[in-house]
Structure 1
């Protein structure tokens, strides 16, 4: 909750997901509950989008991007690894060129 309270005010849109390849993952439903609770306690109004996989999260992020948008991926190395595989295989012009 503390990390969410720190991060949420800096983002208009938050996309929640879960990694798929690790049995110790936190189900996205738990992340939703934690995010909603944090929003209530802090008065945060960021839009929350829920997806079931990192790939779905990436495609959803691309749908809401504007010309001056920044995508920041947070979480575990498992999320980073799953997204890295996806991004390395893409021919999209939207690529991560520097770390946040």
Structure 2
């Protein structure tokens, strides 16, 4: 039931002339709200701010993913596009984690 409830707000707009709204719905910060509540209630406000800052940096892998979807959708079929862009996201997420742990955490 929860899966259907999550898919419905994405599937319904995708069938309308405002199909592009389907790209906004998954960005509702459901998990971010949960994560920020947990961090904010169990750690310091400084840790909450640091979590939010990392969240801003986490937009980099997502932006790379979207650019890759746009680019590879011209070159590849749907399955290969989605496979390739998943690898792009994983690569950028890995780079982000390496850089964050190497450069940001050492300055704390």
Query: Which TM-score tier does this pair reach, normalised by the shorter chain?
Result: under 0.3
Larger radius of gyration: 2
Bigger RCO of structures 1 and 2 (CA < 8 A, at least 6 apart): 1
